[in-house]
Structure 1
Amino acid sequence: MSTPPVSSSPETAAPAVPSAASSPDSSHYPARGTPGLRRAQWALFAAGFSTFSLLYCVQPLMPLFTGAFGVSPAQSSLVLSLCTGLLAVAIFFVGLFSQSLPRKRVMALSLFASAVLGTVAAFAPDWHSLLALRALQGVAMGGVPAVAMAYLAEEVEPETLGFAMGLYISGSAFGGLSGRVITGLVADHFGWRAALGTLGVLGMAAAVLFVWLLPASRRFVPQQGRGWAGVWGDVRAGARAHLKNGPLCGLFALGGLLMGAFVTVYNYVGFRLLLPPFSLSQTFIGFIFVVYLVGIFASTYFGRLADRHGRGAMLCAATGLALAGLLLTLSESLPILIAGIVVFTFGFFAAHAVASGWVGQMARGYKALAASLYLLVYYVGSSVLGALGGQFWTAGAWRGVAEMTGGLLVLALAISAALYWRTGRVAAAAAVGRAS
């Protein structure tokens, strides 16, 4: 669901502030409110919608897969975990070569391929075929998250980047919401195959809209003839720089912890709501995901707050909200449980928007590689921790899931507090330096 501002030096993606030689327009960003910037923002909103609706549409269908294919709840989570795991790998490798790849073409191919594979998955004859198609879909999806952040960081003025990034993540949140709600509703009346086919068709429509709306890059020109030697040289240099940057590594870990907690909660809340004392229908469970709407608001709102008041403070506040929401889900009262899901979702998207927007600023060069590493850890967290949550569900039902995700969020809050403390010290030192 989602995603840091990227750009770079001669590494694995485009420069944050390209030289004048990169493009004739390199000295000017399109102003906020201009048609070109609006088209780019809404095109990437559509891309986020398509990618994340196709990625997460299977979550409300997991209980149906257990019946249709005779698999356990933990095994049913593979239909998402396998996809997100290969998505993480694809993002990383696309990021490696993004300096040599045209931004718009990569994203368009990714959108069309993932939509076609999603449609084909509706006709999977058995469980292993469905898993194979979902794995291929994860690979196909990698082009959008790997490149969209680089495009925004290059084409949007720094003062507007927090808002633009928030809008892109809002598209991701809207996609996650729509995918879950639509599949829950369609599956209740026509079955899971019709649900997956519907999402595939919507993905194709979003891909067409994306190609029509997105302007070509003005501040980036692909570099040719770099080859494996050049790419791996940049990777080694960038990786060394990033792994020596403690706060940046903290952001990487934070992304994995937050996403692992988020996916685990949404993987198994449907199982809980199907059981007494709730015993809800598949349609109602699908509509529970309407709470994703708060993620759309949270991403843009906290993106603005971070631009104004600092990322460290907002990261602590957002992570604390997610933890508070998780505690509310332990209630046996349906209204309180839903309120907990709302607060948890708000906190997650707010924290993700702030953390992803901080990666490019905190990286010392090689910014696109930093973004790729963030997303690699982010989706590995989704894949590994989301699957591990099935063991906690089997052992302790919802309380077991809450204990696991609560531990992840406590660690995330500790990292957020450390980053806040560090940035406060740096700001104070800078203020003393200016005063002297």
Structure 2
Amino acid sequence: MMNTARLGLRHIGERLTPRLIVIGTISFLTLIDLFATQAILPSLASRYRVSPAEAGLAVNACTLGMAVSALLVAVFGNMIDRRRAIWLCLALLSIPTALLAIAPDLTSFAALRILQGLCMSAAFAFTIAFIAEHGNPEETAAGLAAYVTGNVASNLLGRMAAAALADHAGLPITFFAFAALNLLGAVLVIYFLEGMMDETAAAAGARATGSTGAAAPNAPMHRARRFAPVLMHLANAEIMRVCAIGFLILFAFLGIFTYVNFVLVAPPLALSAATLGLVYLVFIPATVTTPRSAQLQSYLGLRWALIVSLAAAIAGLPMLLSTELWLVLAGLALIGAGTFAAQALATSALTQLTMTDRPAASGLYLASYYAGGLVGSAAVGQIYMAGGWPAAVGTVGLALVGAAVLAATIRRVAAGSP
């Protein structure tokens, strides 16, 4: 049985490799702005003369925009063509990204980050819906894993590039470079996305009835009907459980990777700005393990795959309290690999739970996910300032344990997923 599953996955991988590369690259260019600024947090705190908690909250203000945008997509997503929405969001994203180069104070910087979040989240939600509507369950799982892998790569290369550019060319050039990458993503969507995705008969039928595609431009939609998909998903306990897991995943991820920068540049580790960028090589293991999350799910089932991924992240937390750099880096690698795999699995669970109105479901999930990031960056920042790094790490540990408990209660969502 396991050999058959392995052969099937290998066949899918060979058939979908170009498709998955396109999906992963679009994800990379969509989300590269999200976490790259965390690598230059000490520089931003110095530039604006603010505390680590204030700088961290401003940088992660994008998650507020992402949560709001996700809710808007949940309500209005079915009225908009997916591909057009994705490239428009990426093109618009380049504007606030470029303006960050000349932000005069922390307030304006935070406002521009919120605008970035509005664009990034909408592109994210529409891409997830597009992937789910253009493949069978195995192809969808592989596509979502590729999208999250692109997110991992953007974390790794985006942080390294931001640190290197800021150190050698200054902050303005750094933001202009990322704006150019956003525009490149828009071009990639326009010219390659549709051609690489073979729409299944089921998706075609769903679009014909208007259940998953954009609504006809002149079709009237009553206000109550517009909110019906959102209310339907809110009443689904399984979907809400997955949304809660997403909330706790980003709570933990941002809680660690925002404030560990200040720990790394302070004694006894005392890393330089240039060396700090190299620290994010810890995401390399996640670029290998995240694409394998679909295989892990096929072997263990969704519930146990999620628990194992979250357990890996929890195991990395005590290492962050060490004064030995190699142990801290090992802990960060485990946390990155575990949380990214859990994110891919949670997204896969969501698509399996929603056969219709997927933009509404993905919008609700992303709203919860990014709300968790905003709460995590704010709460862990205050705990870090008041109680130190051990208290911050302990808070993140409680969040990950909560996510694992929720994962253990997930019911069967697909064949082969106990």
User: Which TM-score band (shorter chain)?
Assistant: 0.7 to 0.9
Task: Look up the match of 2:401.
Answer: 410
TM-score by length of 2: 0.88
1:107 deviates by 0.3
Q: How does 1:121-200 map to 2 (within 5 A)?
A: 121-200=100-179
**Which range moves more in the overlay, 262-271 or 75-84?**
75-84
Specify the SS of the correspondent of 1:214. helix
**Which range moves more in the overlay, 124-133 or 397-406?**
124-133
1:276 deviates by 0.6
CA–CA distance in structure 2, aligned partners of residues 177 and 299 of structure 1: 13
CA–CA distance in structure 2, aligned partners of residues 95 and 245 of structure 1: 15
CA–CA distance in structure 1, aligned partners of residues 187 and 242 of structure 2: 34
2:65 maps to which of 67, 81, 86: 86
1:54 deviates by 1.0
1:295 deviates by 2.2
CA–CA distance in structure 2, aligned partners of residues 243 and 126 of structure 1: 39
CA–CA distance in structure 2, aligned partners of residues 51 and 81 of structure 1: 16
Q: Percent identity?
A: 28
- 2:324 is equivalent to residue 345 of structure 1: no
The residue type paired with residue 405 of structure 1 is V
Structure 1: give runs of 5+ residues left out of the alignment: 1-30, 432-436
The residue type paired with residue 20 of structure 2 is Q
Q: How many residues align?
A: 394
CA–CA distance in structure 2, aligned partners of residues 215 and 33 of structure 1: 19
**Which range moves more in the overlay, 324-333 or 201-210?**
201-210
1:205 deviates by 2.3
Q: Is the Cα contact below 8 Å between 1:258 and 1:348 reproduced in 2?
A: yes
Q: Classify 1:187/1:381 alpha carbon distance in 2 versus 1 (closer, same or farther; 3 Å).
A: same
Q: Classify 1:187/1:34 alpha carbon distance in 2 versus 1 (closer, same or farther; 3 Å).
A: same
Task: Look up the match of 1:66.
Answer: 45
- 2:210 is equivalent to residue 222 of structure 1: no
CA–CA distance in structure 2, aligned partners of residues 100 and 351 of structure 1: 30
TM-score by length of 1: 0.84
1:32 deviates by 4.6
1:171 deviates by 0.8
Structure 2: give runs of 5+ residues left out of the alignment: 1-10, 208-212
Could you list the per-position Cα deviations for residues 190-239 of structure 1 after superposition, in whole angstroms to 9, with x for gaps in the alignment? 22222222222222223323322111674345222455525x42423x34
CA–CA distance in structure 2, aligned partners of residues 114 and 347 of structure 1: 29
1:301 deviates by 0.5
Q: Is the Cα contact below 8 Å between 2:255 and 2:377 reproduced in 1?
A: yes
The residue type paired with residue 281 of structure 1 is S
2:227 maps to which of 235, 259, 282: 235
1:409 deviates by 0.8
The residue type paired with residue 261 of structure 2 is G
1:77 deviates by 1.4
2:293 maps to which of 285, 296, 302: 302
Q: Classify 1:101/1:243 alpha carbon distance in 2 versus 1 (closer, same or farther; 3 Å).
A: closer
- 2:313 is equivalent to residue 322 of structure 1: yes
1:110 maps to which of 86, 89, 98: 89
CA–CA distance in structure 2, aligned partners of residues 335 and 367 of structure 1: 42
Q: Classify 1:164/1:364 alpha carbon distance in 2 versus 1 (closer, same or farther; 3 Å).
A: closer
1:277 maps to which of 258, 263, 268: 268
1:408 deviates by 0.6
Task: Look up the match of 2:189.
Answer: 210
Could you list the per-position Cα deviations for residues 116-155 of structure 1 after superposition, in whole angstroms to 9, with x for gaps in the alignment? 3212211222222222222221112232111111111111
CA–CA distance in structure 1, aligned partners of residues 219 and 30 of structure 2: 29
Q: Is the Cα contact below 8 Å between 1:169 and 1:296 reproduced in 2?
A: no
Specify the SS of the correspondent of 1:222. coil
Q: How does 1:309-388 map to 2 (within 5 A)?
A: 309-363=300-354, 365-388=356-379
